[in-house]
Amino acid sequence: MLLKVKQVGIFVGMLILYLIASGLIENSVIFHGWLRYVLLAVGIVGSIGVAYFLAKLIKRAEPEFSILPINFKNWRRFVWLLLIWIGSLFVMGTWKSVGDKLIGVSIESTSTNQELISKTFSYSGFYSVIAMAITLVLVAPIIEELLFRGLFLAYFDSKKHWWIGVVTSGLLFGLAHIVSSGVRLASLVDWIMYAILGGALAFVYKRTRHISNDILIHMMQNSIATLSLLITFLQH
């Protein structure tokens, strides 16, 4: 019991450290001059530190854990991962459309990542692109996979029921993506949408035991979403 309490404390503590580090990068856009770059540098160094300690914690709980290399084993495994990702995108899109209609919210309503991009671009042009790319395409996929898949499943995965860890990891992943934007009716739709992606990534990790596969999928997901929103934003 005391061990689980300690593990919960470690998980929450690492989550807070991640939010602080990524927050420094995101909010550096509202400053100018040398302070902006100091916050960016501190945020990047802090993110590297968080990733390092997460890897150490996972390694302590699961000695066979390793971030690298990316391992598909064969082309069938690569196709399987690709289908999992595409399938999760389809389910997420379907849920978003149905959920928005059910609660009477426009399809164009913004998710947490979309709000971050819009806020970021409203401040400082090209620097915003750099900050956004660092946060969404590099920092978030690496640390969130280490945290919500690697550490969470190392600490709290069920030995009897494989799906419990997958579902719980997904729900926590979704919750973490909506709390920063304030809980509202539309955010409940986003919660399930992110939970679907988080659950799919947890399933991939449990099947492959290679966190790098999850990181790659997460980077692809965020890169495509970011590029799409970037193009839309520039067109306006």
Q: Return all residues near 125 (Cβ < 8 A) that are at least 6 apart.
A: none
* pLDDT tens-digit series, residues 35-62: 999 999 999 999 999 999 999 999 999 9
Cβ neighbourhood burial of 172 (10 Å; 0-12, 13-18, 19+) = buried
What pLDDT does 141 receive? Answer: 95
Q: Residue holding tokens 């379907």?
A: 94
What pLDDT does 25 receive? Answer: 92
222, 113 Cβ separation under 8 angstroms? yes
* Higher-confidence position of 150 and 128: 150
* pLDDT tens-digit series, residues 90-118: 888 787 777 667 666 554 455 555 565 66
* pLDDT tens-digit series, residues 130-167: 888 888 899 999 999 999 999 999 999 887 888 899 99
Mean pLDDT of 172-179: 87
Per-domain boundaries in the chain:
2-235
For residue 83, is pLDDT > 60?
yes
Distance CA(209)–CA(92), nearest Å, equals: 24
